[in-house]
């Protein structure tokens, strides 16, 4: 087998395995898109804000525990953050949400595969050239 065939075979294997090694092979949210609130969502958020007195209920929960020296419950902090996110969404008329973009996913994995293949091909050819030079 010629050294160039072995190098090409290793480069192809590197291209296939590179996305798995880099952790980019799993589809996950990789983009953001603006989602406009519907009238029903606006009404639901407004009702939640009214019941929590514009997030003040959640904030006082956290503050009271902190003042009393109690451990602040992470659920209370999450509720307060979610309430403020809802306030922002209502004010802005929508929100940014994480979405999956197939073209971006394919481009990222293509670049990772190409980089892995070219890296292994270069290393293999450089080490092969050294081996041939040492034999001569």
Query: What confidence tier does 61 reach under pLDDT thresholds 50, 70, 90?
Result: confident
Say yes or no: 4 and 35 in one domain: no
Q: Is the pTM of this model over 0.75?
A: no
Say yes or no: 12 and 46 in one domain: no
Cα–Cα distance measured from residue 21 to residue 128, given in angstroms and rounded to the nearest whole number = 25
Q: How confident is the model over 11-27, as a mean pLDDT? A: 93
Say yes or no: 38 and 89 in one domain: yes
Query: What confidence tier does 136 reach under pLDDT thresholds 50, 70, 90?
Result: low
Q: What is the pLDDT of residue 131?
A: 61
Domain of residue 7 covers 1-28+101-136
Residue 63, phi then psi, degrees to nearest 5:
-65, -40
Say yes or no: 107 and 89 in one domain: no
Based on the structure, what is the number of domains in the chain? 2
Of 58, 84, 82, 61, give the one whose Cα is nearest residue 71.
Answer: 61
* Percent of the chain residues past pLDDT 90, beyond the cut: 37
Indicate the SS3 state at residue 58: helix
**Alpha carbon distances (Å) from 27 to 20, 37, 107, 113, 122:** 11, 26, 12, 16, 29
User: Is it the case that residue 130 has pLDDT exceeding 70?
Assistant: no
Say yes or no: 37 and 10 in one domain: no
Q: How confident is the model over 81-104, as a mean pLDDT? A: 90
Q: How confident is the model over 34-56, as a mean pLDDT? A: 87
Contact 6, 124 (CB under 8 A): yes
Of the two residues 70 and 114, the one the predictor is more confident about is: 114
Hey, which residues does 32 pair with through a beta bridge?
98
């Amino acid at each position: 087998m010629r050294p160039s065939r072995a190098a090409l075979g290793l480069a192809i294997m590197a291209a296939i395995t590179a996305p798995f090694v880099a952790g980019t092979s799993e589809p996950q949210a990789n983009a953001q898109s603006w989602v406009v609130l519907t009238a029903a969502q606006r009404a639901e958020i407004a009702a939640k804000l009214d019941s929590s007195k514009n997030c003040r209920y959640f904030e006082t929960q956290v503050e009271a525990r902190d003042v009393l020296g109690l451990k602040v419950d992470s659920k209370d902090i999450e509720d307060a953050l979610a309430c403020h996110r809802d306030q922002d969404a209502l004010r802005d008329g929508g929100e940014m949400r994480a979405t999956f973009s197939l073209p971006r996913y394919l481009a990222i994995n293509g670049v990772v595969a190409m980089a892995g293949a070219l890296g292994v091909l270069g290393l293999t050819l450089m080490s092969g050239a050294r081996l041939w030079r040492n034999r001569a």
